[in-house]
Amino acid sequence: MFKSPQPPKQNQGITVNSNVAETIIGPETKYQGTVTTSKTIRIDGVFEGEIKSSGPVIVGETGKFSGTMDCKSLSLSGLVEGNATVSEKLECTSQAILKADINVKDLILANGAIFDGKCNMSKFNKAKEEDSNKSTI
């Protein structure tokens, strides 16, 4: 009547994508508060508050984020308003709307993306800035 637990299946050549979101705010979801994670978070709904992530953040085409974000990387196709610190790459697709003051290492804006705010890249690029100053002396 009851089956004994099956042993876990062996990996048969399946590659697991490490950027698969562990936390998802779905299109019909509104969240207010703080999320702290080391994994990927994807926002397709509305998020108001704070994100602290040592992993990537993805804001999909229907996603809207308002607040403060501190993350490793940000892939933006929706709307972000507020302040963001991105220690690596912030990439905006042509649908992206970025109304924020940002601190970022690398910024990529696709043709058609909207960016309204201040951008500071020196926080993460001090070595480049120092090398540039040495070569002009």
More confident residue, 115 or 128: 115
The answer as to whether 123 is a domain residue is yes
Query: Quick one: CA dihedral 126, 81, 34, 59, positive or negative?
Result: negative
Region 13-26 average pLDDT: 64
Region 58-84 average pLDDT: 97
Please give the tally of structural domains in the chain: 1
With 50 as the cut, is the pLDDT of residue 57 above it?
A: yes
The answer as to whether 69 is a domain residue is yes
The answer as to whether 124 is a domain residue is yes
What span, in angstroms and rounded, lies between the C-alpha atoms of 108 and 96? 11
The answer as to whether 111 is a domain residue is yes
The answer as to whether 41 is a domain residue is yes
The answer as to whether 65 is a domain residue is yes
With 70 as the cut, is the pLDDT of residue 82 above it?
A: yes
More confident residue, 128 or 58: 58
Least reliable range by pLDDT among 3-7, 31-35, 45-49, 51-55: 3-7
Q: How many CB atoms lie within 10 A of CB 119?
A: 14
The answer as to whether 137 is a domain residue is no
Q: Report pLDDT for 22.
A: 86
pTM score of the predicted model: 0.79
The answer as to whether 13 is a domain residue is no
Provide the residue range defining the domain that includes 74: 24-131
